[in-house]
Amino acid sequence: MTDHSCKLLVIGAGPGGYIAAIRAGQLGIDTIIVERAAPGGTCLNIGCIPSKALIHAAEEFEKARAFADGNPLGISAGAPKLDLSKTVAWKDGIVKTLTTGVSGLLKKAKVKRIEGTAKFLDGKTVRVEGPDGPATIRAENVCIATGSQPVELPFLPFGGDVISSTEALSLSEPPKTLAVIGAGYIGLELGIAFAKLGSKVTIVEMADHVLPLYDKDLTKPVAKHMESLGIDVHLGARAKERVETGVTVETSDGETLTVEADKILVTVGRSPVTESWGREMLVLDMEGRFIRIDDECRTSMNGIFAIGDVTGEPMLAHRAMAQGEMVAEIVADHRRSWDKRAIPAVCFTDPEIVSVGLSPEEARAEGIEIETNLFPFAANGRALTMESSDGFVRAVARKDNHLLVGLQAVGKGVAELSAAFGLALEMGARLEDVAGTIHAHPTQGEAFQEAALRTLGHALHI
Amino acid sequence: MGEHVIKLPDVGEGVAEAELVEWEVKVGDQVLEDQVLAAVMTDKATVEIPAPRDGKVIWLGAEIGDIIAVGSPIVRMEVEGQGNVKPGEELPAEENEPAAEARDGPESPSEPQSPGEAARAKEGAPSDKADFAEPEAARPSPKPAGTGGGASTSTAPQESGTKPAGSGSAAAAADTGLPRAIGEKPLASPAVRRRAQDGGIDLRRVAGSGPAGRITNDDLDTFIAAGGAPAATGGSVRARDMSVEEIKVVGLRRKIAEKMSTSKSRIPHITYVDEVDVTALEDLRAKLNREKSGSKPKLTLLPFLMRAMARAIAEQPQMNSLYDDEAGIVRRYGGMNMGVAAQTDKGLVVPVVRHVEALSIWDCAGELNRLADAAKNGTASREELTGATITITSLGAMGGIVTTPVINHPEVAIVGVNKMRVMPVWQDGQFVPRKMMNLSSSFDHRVIDGWDAAVFIQRIKGLLEAPASIFIED
């Protein structure tokens, strides 16, 4: 049994936890981070990064297939072949590079890492069971960053051919047929990727449109492209049970049909990891499934902070990172509180969707009088040269002072616009600011400027 | 003899203000022409301010570290012959003269007040720039950095070599901030937000001069210069204390805070006060205390009140209940668990005397003593601090004739005891000295009507005024 004490103990080395630890280390705080698996959490190991690697590979493969198939670009090439196990190995290499990088950063920041499973004994004491034997850590401050895990459907428990996103990212070959239960962003990203890799994909969603958290204007180009990829989508439908050939589905008209599926990917959401680390030893106020926090990420207990997915929506790595940074600085006695304007959200579907701030509906629901308009990529030169005329950029601004309250886009590669969108909102930009900024020609970013211009009523290219 | 006012000269290209870093003289000093009076520092250089002529220093307009706007008066000297202020003359707008603010600032007759501030206060214009709630008119002294704003429009003679003080963007911004609607977030870039957080500045109070009311870095400078810098003090007046101490509201204090805000935000209180003639009760109490056996506790007034309340509650059971306003249910309790508010070193706690309906007056007194001790020593158990169905609060010993007690949510009533005092009471054609005491009580008006509240208190009053009736079994 080893005993440690520290000023800050971080439980969980996902993007929130490792950032908290690194920042705390930079500030000279004596910090320990505990993680039962590799550093980087869901994001680096089984989430954001590996899925983007798979998506990229799928896109390249689809291009190659298009080249073999005849295409307007006049390129012809032989039929491509795919060795998915190699793709997965390549992906694992990227993950390894990044997790090693995180380890290095933690070390550089003089953060002590302890491998194992942490369990609270009381509000200041945590016991770790790990490969190096049990350890007890007494900490002045604890930051809970235990993250989230895929939600399991009781009638379709994970195991065998019923898989979560984790297993989907490590298949040795694309399934011939794949049923995706849940058309949220994870389900669609992976579903589209596997469709491109050659799987026959069927998507089952309870809501009346895919990506139910986004408005239909944004999701329409995605739905359209899915159709062209041959993806079957059952909306207003419920998965019922596993059968030998796949899964039965009750459709919106009440019929039951069987979706053939070698693999069934269940992506119906993620739930916070609030068990198994000794929460019962604490008196933490909860907010639904999540740990309740205030605007300094403090929980109801003194000296205990919580960040990331375990604290609520949106469950996004970059939110956790910003919270982690803030908590480290608060522990270092800086005055900080959560004052972010917007947390960008991106779907790496094809085409991609990015949304920062409020959608027109959300803004109206908040009682804000708005002006909003969009600029289609069909009128953007660069988009046409990349065969990606689908989609648009949309600006949402207050009517009275033209302050931007939301920016959205759907289109190829628009995820990168999140930088410009986020900056515009954080800086408090008005439509005139965006309209008055020279945007390089020819880029898709011009659509951002044009969307602002059009909302002001004087677009130039439409 | 005349008076010569020295203002902060234009100390450099584009400089609107400077920090006073050194005084070379003090009030009462005789100075010679060209003698250095003070040094000020801009972001570019340190500049010495010389005396323009011989004289005696009678007033210093700033303290070291103050940010002074160009054109603000910093020194007044008594000089031979005519100064640059004619005696009896209407004060030039930018200058501060005790005679002038007798009108504008009656609260501070001996202190200079900037006309700019006074004017603003008179117009009733909102002032966003200060971190303090006090009205502008009551501010004892001018703030050199910001106050020139109002003066720049005046026709005051300008000293050669000085700029109008209002030329800085500083002063303008302080006045032009768009008032933000309640709940609207202040608009500022992340860098400005961070700087404000570091400095402990609430950006909601900072006026924004940018488009859409955006708070720029300069706006923050202005705010800090105006609200953060200690003001100049004229001669012997007391310095303003600008310190702010942050005290974390934690532990019991936080609990109290939460409880109180829950109660006050959710319960529409009706407070009812009446006076009780406790002469007879006091006689009885004195007698009982005099004749009690040694082992029995000393009786205060509270046990009598508790027993009287027990009787009154028996007739009006709705007083002894908890209102679950989320479920829309009032739970009337047969048992009377009376919370008795007690002040401890850490703050207010409310130990609970359980089942008063089953206790004798001596039992009540014993329980009160025991719980009061436990509360003071911090040894009261959770059990002993929870479960009340009605509360008594007593500030009696401190004095005070009326209180507006806050109901201990989710209870529906609280009875407050005020100080007993001997009062002349008109009785049988003459004034007689009677021991009078007020009961100040609050009720949850959602479930207790004013009439019922009055009936309840009148019943208690009746019992206390005829104390024998407390003990008579029905």
Domain map (residue ranges) of chain B = 2-228, 257-471
Q: Is A52 annotated to bind ligand? A: yes
Minimum mean pLDDT range among A49-63, B40-54, B281-295: B40-54
Task: Determine how many CB atoms are found less than 10 A away from the CB of residue B330.
Answer: 17
Predicted local confidence at residue A213, as pLDDT: 92
Is the confidence at residue B157, as pLDDT, over 50? no
Note whether A401 contacts B: Cβ–Cβ < 8 A.
Answer: yes
User: Could you tell me the CA-to-CA distances from A151 to A181, A269, B183 in Å, in that order?
Assistant: 11, 6, 36
Of B251, B259, B299, B254, residue with least CA distance to B386 = B259
Minimum mean pLDDT range among A295-299, A349-353, B83-87, B374-378: B83-87
Q: Which of A336, A401, A432 minimises the CB distance to B197?
A: A336
Predicted local confidence at residue A293, as pLDDT: 97
The H or E element spanning position A406 is strand A404-411
Specify the amino acid at residue A24.
A
Contact A426 B190 (CB under 8 A): yes
Candidates B182, B194, B250, partner chain A, best to mutate (most A CBs within 10 A): B194
Contacts of A339 in chain B (CB under 8 A): 193, 197
Is the confidence at residue B284, as pLDDT, over 80? yes
Tokens describing residue B209: 């001069």
Is the confidence at residue B153, as pLDDT, over 60? no
Residues present in chain B in total:
474
Split at pLDDT 50, 70, 90, the class of B150 is very low
Contact B211 A427 (CB under 8 A): no
Tokens describing residue B228: 């953060």
- B104 or B368, which is more confident: B368
Predicted local confidence at residue A71, as pLDDT: 87
b/e sequence B278-299, b meaning 16+ C-beta within 10 Å:
bbebbebbeebeeeeeeeebeb
Is the confidence at residue A415, as pLDDT, over 90? yes
Predicted local confidence at residue B28, as pLDDT: 86
- % of residues, chain A, pLDDT over 90: 97
* Domains of chain A in sequence order: 2-46+88-150+271-331 (3.50.50.60), 162-268 (3.50.50.60), 345-456 (3.30.390.30)
Split at pLDDT 50, 70, 90, the class of B8 is confident
ipTM greater than 0.85: no
Is the confidence at residue B99, as pLDDT, over 50? no
Predicted confidence (pLDDT) per residue in A312-326, tens digit: 999 999 999 999 999
Predicted local confidence at residue B207, as pLDDT: 84
Q: Is A118 annotated to bind ligand? A: no
**Residues of B labelled as active-site residues:** 445, 449
Q: How many CA atoms lie within 13 A of B286 on its CB side?
A: 6
Helix-then-strand count for chain A, H and E: 13, 24
What pTM value is reported for the model? Answer: 0.58
User: Could you tell me the CA-to-CA distances from A194 to A61, A229, B117, B212 in Å, in that order?
Assistant: 11, 10, 71, 47
Split at pLDDT 50, 70, 90, the class of B323 is very high
Predicted local confidence at residue A2, as pLDDT: 87
Phi, psi of A249 (to 5 degrees): -135, 135
Predicted confidence (pLDDT) per residue in A288-338, tens digit: 999 999 999 999 999 999 999 999 999 999 999 999 999 999 999 999 999
Q: Report d(CA B129, CA B219) in Å as an integer.
A: 10
Is the confidence at residue A249, as pLDDT, over 90? yes
Q: Is A184 annotated to bind ligand? A: yes
Give the CATH H-level superfamily of domain B257-471: Chloramphenicol acetyltransferase-like domain (3.30.559.10)
Predicted local confidence at residue B158, as pLDDT: 41
